[in-house]
Amino acid sequence: MIHVIDMDCDYFLIHFSDEEDYSHALLEGPWMIAGHYLIVQRWRPFFLKSEHHVRKIAVWVRIPNLPIELYNYRFLWRIGSAIGHMLKIDRNTSIHSRGRFARICVEIDLAKKLVPRISVLGSELNIE
């Protein structure tokens, strides 16, 4: 069960009664309603919508052309930590069911420069 509070200025506070639903909403996006992307963030105590600017967001990052031998928890976690705050490894990536790209969920700070590529085994791989 969820409880939604309209906080005005296009902000909504959502209470989840189930931790699994909360994790799903936070980590399994991106989410869209009527063609508009939603930014889902953890609650910050003493949040003031009048002074709030979106600074950190959780994003799914794709790393194409990564050798499948590197689709392991430790290596992908290191890559994610170099990009931002690592949150999750995509299930299809972790069970090696997709070979075209690895996918990880990372919280990035929009005030910092985005990491466009990483160096792997002497090659530069783009981050999408």
Tokens standing for 27? 């980590």
pTM exceeds cut of 0.75: no
Cα-based distances in Å from 59 to 17, 91, 121: 24, 15, 25
Tens digit of each residue's pLDDT (9 = 90 or more) over 29-54: 888 888 877 888 888 888 887 777 77
Strands (E), 1-128: 2-6, 12-16, 31-33, 36-38, 56-64, 85-89, 101-109, 117-120, 123-126
